[in-house]
Structure 1
Amino acid sequence: KVAIYRGEPALYLNGKPIPLITYLHYGGETGTLHKQAAGAGLKIYTDWFGASTAGNLGQIAPGVYDYGYFDSYFETVLEAVPDAYFLPHIGVTAPAWWQREHPEELCLFSDGSRGPSSLFSRRWMEEMAADLKRLIKHLRQAPYADRILGYIFYSGYTAEWQMWATWQDASDDFSEPALAAFRDWLRRRYKTDEALQGAWNLPNATLDSAQIPLHDQQRRDTPFLRDPARDKPVIDYLEFTSDGVADAIIYFARAAKEACQGEQVVGTYYGYMAAHGARQPICGHNALAKVLQCPHIDFLMSPNMYAHRELGGTSTFMTATESVKLHGKLWIDESDLRTYLSDPSSGYGRTETAEETVAVTWREFSNVLTRHVAVSWFDMSGGWFSDKPMWDMYAHQLGVAQEAFARRQPFHGDVAVFTDERSQPCFGFSNLNADALTWTIARMPEVGATWDFYLLSDLRRPDLPAYKLYVLLNAVRLDEATRQALMARAARDGATVWLFYAPGYVTDAGLDPAGIQKATGIHVEIQADGGSAAYTIQPGSFLAAQLDPATALGPQSKLAPRPVIVDETAEGLARFIDGGVAMARKRLGGVPVVYCASVSAPVEVWRELARAAGAHIWCETGDGFYTDGRYLAVHAASAGEKTIRLPWPRRVVDVIRRATIADRTQEIRRTMARGETMLVRLD
C-alpha cells in the first residue's frame, strides 16, 4: 500500500515502509539484465506488457485468452532473481485485432487518418476494463502472485495518457466516440441550448449539433490568449479532452482496485504540468486535480524532465510534485537518462562517458532524494546500465536512500510556485507556454533557493505550508476566492506575491483588464496587437545591482495581447525593449506584490526577488541545487569554485566520496569541474 511515513507518502512492502527504487527495461526477457540489477540491490521490476498503440491483456482473439506470455515473464525473472518483486506496466490500449474489428472506435485525426482506440470510446473502456480485471484475477491466482505489488496501467501517446495527436502535425479527436462524449460533457455543463448559445456567442448552437473545433482552431498560435467571447468552443473542447482523459484513468484505476480487492497498489502516468511547451493546452494532462481526488490511485509518474537534462543542466519533474504529495499520492520519477552505453543518436541530453553518466545520475538521484519521491531507473533499450561504474553507483545510491529514508522529515522550501491547469485551455499553441512553464521549472534549481511546485487549486488547502514568496506563473483565469486566499496567506505569512503576464484577465464573458488590476493592485493597459516579450531591468531599481540594465531578458518573441503597466504609484523594475513598463512592485493591502507583464523571468531575477522576500539563498553561481535540509547536492553548470551557505552550522559529510568535509560549518566551498555532482549529508 501507499501510506504516510514520517509525514509524506511512501510504499509499504509487507507492512514496512521502503524507499521505492525500481529497475525496468522494454522487452525481450531472459532475466540477464535483472540479475545484473539484483547484484546492485535493485530487485523491484516495473517492466512492460503490451505497447502504447496496441495493448495485451491476454485476449488474443475474440473470446480467446492466453496468459502464457505473462507467466513466462514472471517465471523467467524469478528464476534469475528468486526474491524479486514486480510492479508491471499493463497496456489498456485495445489490442490490434480489436482495433481491426472496431474501426469506428478508433481515434480520428484531422487529416482523416486513424489512430489507436479513442480515449473517449465507452466501448473501449468497458471491454478493456473487463479484460484488465480478468488478467488481474489470473495474476492473483498464479504461483508468483505474492511477488506482484501492484499495476501501472497505461494508454495514450507513448503510453503516457497524452492525446494521440499531442506530438503530431494533425490534431484529434474527431471520432464518433469523441464527438458523443464531447456533447455529453456540454450537456452536463450547460443543460440547455440557450445556455450553450450564450456561452459560445453562437445563436444557432445546440447541444445535439455541437462540433469538435477544427484543426486550425485548436492549433492557432496567435494571439497568445483565447478570448472566451469568440473562442469558447475551443476552450471548452480543450477542457473536455483533459476531463475525458482523467475520466478514463479513473475508470481503469477503479477496475484494477476492484480486481485486486484493494490489496495492491495502482497508478499510472499523468499530470505533466510543465512538460509540453506549446502543446500544453492540447495534451490532455490538464485535469490533475481531478485525478488526485481519485481514491483508487496510489501513485503517479512520468519521465524526468527532458528540458535542460544535459550535463551541466538540471534534474526536475514534469508535475506539480508537492500537490501530488499533498493529496497522499506517491510520485515516481521514471528516469530514462541516456547513458554513455545508449545509442549515440539517442539525444535528450545523452552523456558521452561513464564519468559524465555517473555525475548526471547522481544529480537525478539527488533530486529524488531531496524531494522525497520514488525513482524507477529505465534501461530503455536494455544494456544502458550494463557496466561496472553504473551498477556500483546504483548499489551506492540504494544504501544512501535507505539511510536517508529512515531519518527523513517533512521539508518545504521558501518559494511556492503555482501553475493553473484551469487556465491552460485559454492559451494558444505558442512556444511562449514553454517559456512560461517548461523552461521556468527546468531552471528553478539554478535559483539557489528552496522551492515547491503546486497546482493553484491547492492554494486554499489549510495544510499548505507557509512560504516567503508565492509565485503564480499562468493564472489568467484567477478567480476571486483564490485571489482572496492568496492575499490572506501572504498577509499572514509576511510573504511577497509575484504574478506573471495577465492574472485574472480571462473571465467567462471575455477578456477584462480590470481583472489584472484587481489581482495585482497595478493599473495596466492592454496592447491588443502586442509587442516584444523581452525587457530590460530599469536602472536604479533594486534588481539593477545584480543584473545589467543593458541586457535584454525574457523571451525574444512577440507577445499579444500584451499588458503594459501604467501606474505611477508602482515602483518600476523593468521596461519592455520596445517601450512601456514590464515589471513593477507595489503594496496591496500591506502585501508586497511584484507583477511581471511578460511570461517569464531569468534565474537572476528569481534569485533577487526570492532574496528580497526573505528566502535563504544557498548557492549563487547558477548551478543545479537540491536540498531537503538534511541532504544537499550541487551539480556544476560551470567549472570553478562553488560556495554553499547554510542557514545554520552543520557537520558536512560527502556522501559520494564517503568523507567528512567539516565537523561544523555554515559554508561549504569546493572547486568543481563542469558537470560534476556533489552530494552531502548535513548532520
Structure 2
Amino acid sequence: QVRPTFMSHEWRRLGAEGLRRLVEHMKKQPYAPRVVGLCLFAGRAGENYYGGNELNIFTNEQGQVDAKPREQWDVGDFSAAARMVFREFLVRKYGTDEALQAAWRRPGIRFDDILSPARFRSEEICDILVSAREPATAGSLRNPMEPGIGALPMDYFQCFSEAMIDTFAAWGKAVKEASDGRLLVGCYYGYTLSQLYTNLPLFSGHTAVARACRTPYLDFYVAPPDYNPSRRAGGDVRAWNIVDSLRLHNKLFLYEYDNRSFLAEMMPKTFSQRETISVFRRDFAAALTHNTAFWWLDFGDGQRGARSLEWFCDPAIADLAAHTKRVYDYALTLPDRSPSAQIAVFYHGETHTGQRIHPPTIPLNVSLGRLTLFDGVQRIGAPADLYNLADIPLLAKSGRLDQYKMCLFLNPFYLTEEERQSLELCKGNGRTLVWLWAPGLAQVGQPLSPERVSAVTGIPGIRWREEGAEPTCRMVASNHPLAAGLAPGLELAPRPMPPGSVWSRFGNVIAPLLYVDPAAAGPETEILGHWVLDGKTRPEMGAFCVREFTQAG
C-alpha cells in the first residue's frame, strides 16, 4: 500500500519548501494581515495518523468492527526512508554497535543492518512489534531483557512517534522563518488519552506528547473530544491531549468542537435544544478553565435531506457562542489565570512503547484511562490538572508542584532511571501519592521486578502473580478515612469490556496481578482490601493499601 511516511527527510524537505512558497505568496496578498497562522494536515484523514490500521481493522459480515488475528497484523514503516530515520535514532541513543547489541539482547546487530531488508526483516520485526509469537498469557509489559528482542520494540515505537512530531516541527520552522516569526503553526496531534483506552495503542504515533510540548516551532495542537455518549448531558469532558502540560510550556490546545447538536443526524448527539445548550456550556467552561480554545466543525453532509442540516444553525446556539466570546475576552483581562487545582495527574506516553498492544494491555489501559481518569477523577467534585510525567522536574523547580496536595500516577510502568528519580520529587510536604497497578515494574535495561515497584512506592512486600485474573478487590473493615463509606465486603471490580460489546472478546483479565504481602509489608502498611480469586478472598494478597510516611521518609 502506498502512503506517506512521517519518517522521511525528503518529505520534510519538500514540505518545508512548499510551505515557504505558500507563505511568501500569502504575504503579497491583501488578506495577509488577517492570517494569524497555519494548521497542518497530513496522514490518514488529515489527523496525522500513520496508515496501516485500516489493514488490521475491518467490518465483519455482522456489520461489527472486527480485527485480524494478531499474527496477521500489519504495523510499522519499513520503507528505505523510515529505516534511515530509525538508524539515526538508534545512533543518537546508543552511540556504538555494542551498546545497541546489549540493549536489544541481540548479538551481532549493527546500526547499518537497519538499512538492509535482508538483515532487518520487516516480517520478523512486525511479529515482534505485535507479539505474534508470544503466548496469549503473556503480561502487559514487555521484558527489556528478553533475549533477541530487549528494547527493540520500545525503541521502534518511540522513534515512530517522535518522527511524526519532528516532521511537523520541520514544517513549522519553515513557516516561522518565511513569516519572520509572525505566523502561528500547529497541527492535529496528541490523540494521547484515546490511545490509553482504545484497542489500538501506539498505532497513531501520538505518544511523544512530552516532546511535542518542547519544540519551539509548533504553537498549538488540535484534537476532538471523545466520540462516545459522554458527550451528552451528564457526561464528562474528554480532551485527548495532556492539556496542562501544553499550558505549562506556553502551547495552546484547541478542541475540534464537532459535538453534534440536536439538529445533527449523526451519533453521538444531543436530542433537544435544552440539552445541546447545557452540554455546550459545560464544554466551553472546561476549555476556559484550562486555558484552552476550540473551533467549530460541522459534519453536515450534502445539499438536501436530514444529514445536510447545519448543526449549529440555531438562534440559541448563536447567542451562546456570542456570550462565550464575551466571557473569553473578559478572561483574557484577568491578571492571573494560572492553575488552581490541588490534584495533579501524571501521564507517561513512553510506557505505551513498553506494553504489548493486545490483551491484557487493553483492559488494563481502559481501566486506567476511561474508568479511572474520565469516569472517576472528573466526577470527584474537585478539579485536577493533567501533566506529562516528564514535567515533574519543571513543576518542582518552578514551585508549582507545591500547590498539589495529591498526585495520581496514571501509568508510569516503564521508566528510565532518570524518570524513576523524578518521582521522588513528589514525595514529602504532606502530599498524598496514588499509585495504580505496577509503577516502575519495567525499567530500561533491567528485568521486570515487583521489588522495583516497592522501591518506587516505598511500600515493602510487593509481589506479583504472573498468571492473569479479572481484578476484584474486596474491602475489609477499617477506620481509615480512605475506607469511609465503603462497607466491608464491598467489591471494587472494573469490567471495562462488558458482555456483548464489540471488544468483549478481549476480556477483562489483567496480568501480571500485583499485590502486597501483609506479612512482609509491616505494621505501617494498612491493608484496606484483598484480591478475590475464584470467588474466594485471598487475605495473603493485599489489593488496596495505604502507608503513611514521615517527612524524613
Q: Which amino acid aligns with 1:229?
A: M
Aligned to 2:99: 195
Greater share of residues in helix = 2
Aligned to 2:61: none
State the shift of 1:453 in Å.
0.3
Aligned to 1:59: none
Query: Which of 397, 408, 418 pairs up with 1:471?
Result: 408
Query: Which of 479, 482, 485 pairs up with 1:546?
Result: 485
Deviations 1:422-444 (A, max 9, x none): 22201122322222124433223
> What is the rounded CA distance, in whole Å, between the counterparts of 2:54 and 2:343 in structure 1?
32
State the number of aligned residues: 475
> What is the rounded CA distance, in whole Å, between the counterparts of 1:488 and 1:142 in structure 2?
52
State the shift of 1:574 in Å.
2.0
Deviations 1:460-487 (A, max 9, x none): 1112332100111111134555445444
Greater share of residues in strand = 1
Alignment of 1:58-137 (within 5 A): 113-114=1-2, 116-137=3-24
State the shift of 1:419 in Å.
0.6
Alignment of 1:472-491 (within 5 A): 472-491=409-428
> What is the rounded CA distance, in whole Å, between the counterparts of 1:328 and 1:282 in structure 2?
27
Judged with a 3 Å threshold, the aligned counterparts in structure 2 of structure 1 residues 274 and 167 are, in CA distance, closer, same or farther, namely farther
Q: Which amino acid aligns with 2:439?
A: P
Aligned to 1:177: 81
1:227 aligns with 2:166: no
Aligned to 2:252: 330
Judged with a 3 Å threshold, the aligned counterparts in structure 2 of structure 1 residues 199 and 483 are, in CA distance, closer, same or farther, namely closer
Judged with a 3 Å threshold, the aligned counterparts in structure 2 of structure 1 residues 260 and 251 are, in CA distance, closer, same or farther, namely same
Q: Secondary structure at the match of 2:491?
A: coil
Query: Which of 565, 574, 577 pairs up with 2:532?
Result: 577
Deviations 1:187-215 (A, max 9, x none): 22223322222111112322222435644
> What is the rounded CA distance, in whole Å, between the counterparts of 2:513 and 2:16 in structure 1?
47
The farther-off stretch of 141-150 and 273-282 is 273-282
Contact map agreement 1:305 1:442 (CA 8 A) in 2: no
Aligned to 1:237: 156
Aligned to 1:433: 365
TM-score, with length taken from structure 2: 0.81
Q: Which amino acid aligns with 1:196?
A: L
> What is the rounded CA distance, in whole Å, between the counterparts of 1:154 and 1:495 in structure 2?
42
1:404 aligns with 2:337: no
> What is the rounded CA distance, in whole Å, between the counterparts of 1:165 and 1:311 in structure 2?
35
State the shift of 1:118 in Å.
1.1
Contact map agreement 1:496 1:591 (CA 8 A) in 2: no
Query: Which of 251, 259, 264 pairs up with 2:170?
Result: 251
Judged with a 3 Å threshold, the aligned counterparts in structure 2 of structure 1 residues 167 and 454 are, in CA distance, closer, same or farther, namely farther
Q: Which amino acid aligns with 1:395?
A: A
> What is the rounded CA distance, in whole Å, between the counterparts of 1:142 and 1:491 in structure 2?
58
1:450 aligns with 2:401: no
> What is the rounded CA distance, in whole Å, between the counterparts of 1:123 and 1:165 in structure 2?
21
Aligned to 2:108: 204
- Residue identity over aligned pairs, in percent, reads 28
> What is the rounded CA distance, in whole Å, between the counterparts of 2:175 and 2:370 in structure 1?
33
> What is the rounded CA distance, in whole Å, between the counterparts of 2:220 and 2:365 in structure 1?
27
> What is the rounded CA distance, in whole Å, between the counterparts of 2:532 and 2:162 in structure 1?
40
Aligned to 1:680: none
Deviations 1:237-259 (A, max 9, x none): 11110111121121111111112
1:318 aligns with 2:240: yes
> What is the rounded CA distance, in whole Å, between the counterparts of 1:591 and 1:301 in structure 2?
44
Aligned to 1:512: 449
> What is the rounded CA distance, in whole Å, between the counterparts of 2:237 and 2:12 in structure 1?
35
Q: Secondary structure at the match of 2:231?
A: coil
Aligned to 1:339: 261
Q: Secondary structure at the match of 1:497?
A: strand
Query: Which of 491, 501, 510 pairs up with 2:437?
Result: 501
> What is the rounded CA distance, in whole Å, between the counterparts of 1:420 and 1:541 in structure 2?
34
Alignment of 1:626-665 (within 5 A): none
TM-score, with length taken from structure 1: 0.66
Query: Which of 124, 129, 134 pairs up with 1:218?
Result: 129
Deviations 1:531-586 (A, max 9, x none): 22232323325344323433333346211122111124311122222132112111
The farther-off stretch of 453-462 and 562-571 is 562-571
> What is the rounded CA distance, in whole Å, between the counterparts of 1:451 and 1:528 in structure 2?
33
> What is the rounded CA distance, in whole Å, between the counterparts of 1:174 and 1:479 in structure 2?
27
Judged with a 3 Å threshold, the aligned counterparts in structure 2 of structure 1 residues 256 and 454 are, in CA distance, closer, same or farther, namely same
> What is the rounded CA distance, in whole Å, between the counterparts of 1:438 and 1:517 in structure 2?
26
Aligned to 2:204: 283
1:537 aligns with 2:475: yes
Contact map agreement 2:412 2:439 (CA 8 A) in 1: yes
Structure 2 alignment gaps of length 5 or more: 57-73, 115-119, 302-309, 497-507
Judged with a 3 Å threshold, the aligned counterparts in structure 2 of structure 1 residues 482 and 124 are, in CA distance, closer, same or farther, namely closer
Contact map agreement 1:334 1:378 (CA 8 A) in 2: yes
Q: Secondary structure at the match of 2:157?
A: helix
Q: Which amino acid aligns with 1:323?
A: S
Judged with a 3 Å threshold, the aligned counterparts in structure 2 of structure 1 residues 262 and 439 are, in CA distance, closer, same or farther, namely farther
